[in-house]
Chains A and B, each alone.
Chain A
Amino acid sequence: MPEQTPTRAAATVVTGVGILLDHVTKRYPGQARPAVDGLTMEIPAGKTVMLVGPSGCGKTTTLKMINRLIEPSEGRIVVDGDDVTQMNGDRLRRGIGYVIQAGGLFPHMTVATNIGIVPRMLGWSKERIAARVDELLELVSLDPEQYRDRFPKELSGGQQQRVGVARALAADPPVLLMDEPFGAVDPITRLRLQDELINIQDELQKTIVCVTHDFDEAVKLGDWIAIFDEGAQLVQYDTPERILGNPANEFVENFIGSGAGLKQLTLTRVADVAMEEAVLARPGEQARDVLTRIVAAGHGHAVVVDSRERPIQWLSRRKLGRLGTIGSTPDPALPVVGSRATLSDALDTMLVSSAGAALVTGRRDVFKGVIDIKTVMDAIGRSQDAAALDSTDAPVGLNTGIFSAIAAGDESDDGAPADSPGPVVAAGDAPAAP
């Protein structure tokens, strides 16, 4: 249910592993309040979890504690059932991909050397590294021939970021940590990089933990979104649909900003909603015949398609009444959306064309159906219904502080700021530490 696109999980093998932060606290000397306070958080295998929150809320600290770039003061980090809190930090990090803003490439090394650096540390052979580098450059849509021997300064910001992702994936780690990965590129490049990350993730099914301050980015990329307030207090940890449709409190509402309903539209693709049939017509037909068919079908319009099934005109009853035969000149103002477009794009097209509906095309621009405002409204309604449902499958995420506050509020007792609830204990009990 919370899956945005349930098809993709079935298509490929999940290569990611689950992560558990178990009552993790980070205190810095000389600071009264901990940067991260008793955070317990489950990160499901093969999912993308977005950590969002205002700056200074501890989301980056939380991320860096997963690969122990920042050592937790208290608590345990469990990766794939193994407690990694005590293991050698460098060895741990070699097994976890890490992407930072602007890629963090080494300027004195070529693209190939940059990407191959972790495999080299792991002792791979030269041939294997070279093959892997080319494979990864293909994966991030850079031509190996052209880019292999370039230096970072000879790349654009977006290209550097791609190489950064390739480097993080080099040794095929099950987990990828990303710290504001697309913060330093221009908005257009950012959208493209986000789309590419979605495609890569469709293919690889890693466990991705990504810090961002951009809520729209979180909605777009995340299977789950964790919203933090100061001290890494987890305010809400849920699917994008449910956070948009059912924000936990005012803080989340403010963070989402205006237009939550519109943002929900970016969660659904045109292909995922029901399309309406349409009466088709071909150039050269008599308008009178087509009109009869429309009336019979109870429709208001006919879609004219060319010999390759591409829509070229969209004629109303009134227009058909005035025509003799149907022409073959394409209408440049035809409201067309691709089936991979989001509902938000579709709505935009409809509003611009003032037709109240849009034609949907599939591969090679073949006409597939009609989507109208009512379909979009239904989709909003459905995702609000989905949001209203209780999340039984949501991963666990809470703070010790919050939990004790709830306990105190509920029963005003002094007992047990509480052990973690069921699922956490279960996860923690799993193969504990080698």
Chain B
Amino acid sequence: MLDFLGDRYEQILFSSWQHFSLVLQCLVLATVLAVVIAALVYRSRALTGVVNSVSSIGLTIPSFALIGVLISPFGFGVLPAVIVVAFFATLPILRNAVVGLSGIAPTVVEAARGIGMSRFRTLVQVELPLAWPIILTGIRVSAQMVMGVAAVAAYALGPGLGGFIFSGLSRLGGANSFESVVTGVVGVIILALILDLLLVGLGRLTIPRGIRA
């Protein structure tokens, strides 16, 4: 096992970085996407319902199946990986963003409008900051989930630690196959822990003291 790690030291680090980077970028993309969609729908009860069911149904789609489907239009490589990871990352964030935005006390919004804030300014200066702790919780859930999804994306020859898992599984019983799988899995777990710590830190920095629990 140690030999395996020693021999492939650089390759493992590089793949880890790729994996991490893929997840992080997809998370950013997903957060922007989710917040924009949530901001568009949260005022309408009907649209909120639609979005909530889409996000719960979406989570039931097996990621492996989705990436398989995406290979035919987009081919192999980074693009299908990004699409799948971003798609799954968006769902929990979207759900939390909608919940967070619609859970804000109506009096606060009324006060904002009453002192002359436009709808957009109210959203940016009042509603999003107040919903941010809940959105961030969604981001953390999402981050954990898509760490695993990103590993599956290696099936489409995407970047990351998934490659170790798939190559190991395909040669199971062969030399170093077990070590390869373990490296991939443990690597993903470690990355997930690191990312979660970073997100907790982000929360400390960005959640205003007035609404910190």
Which A residues form the contact surface with B (CB < 8 A)? Answer: 67, 69, 90-98, 100-110, 117-118, 121, 151-153, 164, 167-168, 177
Contacts and interface: CB of A to CB of B under 8 A. Distances in A.
A151 B108 CA distance: 15
B210 A118 contact: no
Q: Which bracket fits the contact residues of B? A: 10 to 19
Given A69-B110, A109-B208, 9 more contacts: A69-B113, A90-B117, A91-B116, A93-B113, A96-B116, A103-B111, A104-B110, A106-B111, A109-B210
A132 to B, nearest CB: 15
Contacts of B110: 69, 100, 104
Interface in B170-213: 208-211
B210 A151 contact: yes
A107 B116 contact: no
Contacts of B108: 104, 106-107
Contacts of A93: 113-116
B58 interface: no
A179 to B, nearest CB: 8
Interface of B: 107-108, 110-118, 121, 126, 129-130, 208-211
Contacts of A110: 210
A109 B111 CA distance: 13
B116 A92 contact: yes
B116 A118 contact: yes
Given A90-B118, A94-B116, A108-B129, A100 B210 contact: no
Main SS class of interface, A: mixed
Contacts of B211: 107-108, 153
A241 B31 CA distance: 61
Nearest to A64: B114
B191 to A, nearest CB: 32
Pick the most buried of A90, A109, A151, A153: most chain B CB atoms within 10 A of its CB.
Answer: A90
B130 A104 contact: no
B61 to A, nearest CB: 36
Contacts of A106: 108, 111-112, 126, 130
Nearest to A67: B114
Contacts of B113: 69, 93
21 contacts: A69-B114, A90-B116, A90-B118, A91-B116, A94-B115, A97-B115, A98-B115, A104-B111, A106-B112, A106-B126, A108-B208, A109-B208, A109-B210, A118-B116, A121-B117, A151-B208, A151-B210, A152-B210, A153-B210, A167-B115, A177-B114
Contacts of A109: 208, 210
Nearest to A110: B210
Contacts of B121: 121
Contacts, number: 69
A345 to B, nearest CB: 35
Contacts of B126: 106, 108
A102 B107 contact: yes
B7 to A, nearest CB: 52
B211 to A, nearest CB: 5
B209 A121 contact: no
B142 to A, nearest CB: 23
A153 B105 CA distance: 14
A122 to B, nearest CB: 9
Nearest to A97: B115
Nearest to B113: A69
A67 B107 CA distance: 16
Contacts of A101: 107
Contacts of B107: 100-102, 104
Contacts of B129: 108
A98 B210 CA distance: 22
Given A101-B107, A104-B108, A152-B210, A121 B116 contact: yes
Contacts of B210: 107-110, 151-153
Pick the most buried of B107, B110, B114, B115: most chain A CB atoms within 10 A of its CB.
Answer: B115
Nearest to A167: B115
Contacts of A153: 210-211
Contacts of B116: 90-96, 118, 121
Contacts of A96: 116
A106 B113 CA distance: 12
